[in-house]
């Protein structure tokens, strides 16, 4: 049984624009209600999302966060990565350019190795559709998001890491209509994401 979940990602993981704190907060509430509030369990969920973060910037932060939080720890820990949309953007506001495929894949591989070096389980959350018509200058496109989502699938398959596939299913559901801007879901969108993540974690880890 898991003891801790760490979620690393961008502003969608952080929960921007959701009045209830985003999909990670919804996962935490589910776990609190199921395990912590009515018993002495101490199943902790940490939202370590940072708006605008790129996958290529994430390894150093993951290394330091895990080193601090897991010192002398024997806990069963799951690390969730929800990253890649910013890397797919040709003019993302952190670097002003798209992350090259080779650098992106290398970053994903390093994230997996760092986590497993700390004896953590690892999963990736697939990328979500965007709505270019709501963009305010960022050159986001679903073609590029789909491509980078495919890179994540490739690395997960190669590394035997689980991934929650979202893109095509959400696209078919009209997820882009639940975006408040080009990329960020509203509260209903975060509710859908939270439900899908909870179902995925329940199936894979029995939470």
Output the DSSP codes for 170-206: HHHTTGGGGBSSSS-B-HHHHHHHHHHHHHHHHHHH-
The partner residues of 81 in beta bridges, in order of sequence, read 8, 124
The torsion angles phi and psi of 43, rounded to 5 degrees, stand at -85, 110
Distance CA 151, CA 33 (A): 35
Q: Give the 3-state secondary structure of residue 23.
A: helix
For the cut 90, the answer to whether the pLDDT of residue 20 exceeds it is yes
- Convert the pLDDT of each residue in 94-112 to its tens digit: 899 999 999 999 999 999 9
Distance CA 91, CA 120 (A): 33
CATH number at residue 33: 3.40.50.1110
Q: Give the 3-state secondary structure of residue 47.
A: strand
What was the pLDDT predicted at 186?
97
The partner residues of 123 in beta bridges, in order of sequence, read 80, 162
Structurally, the chain folds into a number of domains equal to: 1
For the cut 90, the answer to whether the pLDDT of residue 37 exceeds it is no
Distance CA 47, CA 132 (A): 27
- Convert the pLDDT of each residue in 174-204 to its tens digit: 999 999 999 999 999 999 999 999 999 999 9
- Convert the pLDDT of each residue in 111-158 to its tens digit: 999 999 999 999 999 999 999 999 989 999 999 999 999 999 999 999
pTM confidence score: 0.96
Closest CA to 12 of 27, 23, 20: 23
Distance CA 39, CA 175 (A): 37
Q: Are 107 and 159 in contact (CB under 8 A)?
A: no
The order of strands in the sheet holding 162-164 is 44-49, 4-9, 77-82, 121-125, 162-164
For the cut 90, the answer to whether the pLDDT of residue 73 exceeds it is no
The tokens describing 172, both together, are: 């078919």
Domain that holds residue 155: 4-205
Higher pLDDT, 170 or 38: 170
């Amino acid at each position: 049984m898991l003891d801790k979940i760490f979620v690393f990602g961008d502003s969608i993981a952080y929960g921007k624009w959701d009045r209830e704190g985003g999909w990670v907060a919804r996962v935490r509430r589910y776990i609190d209600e199921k395990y912590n509030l009515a018993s002495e369990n101490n199943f902790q969920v940490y939202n370590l999302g940072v708006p605008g973060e790129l996958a290529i910037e994430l390894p150093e932060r993951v290394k330091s966060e895990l080193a601090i939080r897991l010192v002398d720890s024997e806990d069963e820990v799951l690390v969730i990565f929800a990253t890649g949309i910013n890397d797919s953007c040709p003019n993302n506001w952190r670097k002003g350019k798209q992350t090259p495929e080779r650098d992106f894949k290398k970053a994903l591989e390093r994230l997996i190795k760092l986590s497993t070096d700390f004896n953590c389980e690892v999963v990736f959350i697939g990328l979500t559709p965007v709505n270019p018509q709501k963009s305010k200058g960022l050159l986001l496109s679903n073609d590029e998001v789909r491509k980078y989502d495919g890179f994540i699938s490739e690395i997960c398959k190669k590394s035997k890491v689980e991934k929650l596939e979202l893109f095509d299913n959400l696209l078919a559901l009209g997820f882009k209509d639940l975006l408040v801007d080009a990329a960020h879901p509203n509260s209903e969108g975060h509710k859908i994401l939270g439900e899908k993540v909870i179902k995925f974690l329940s199936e894979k880890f029995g939470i």
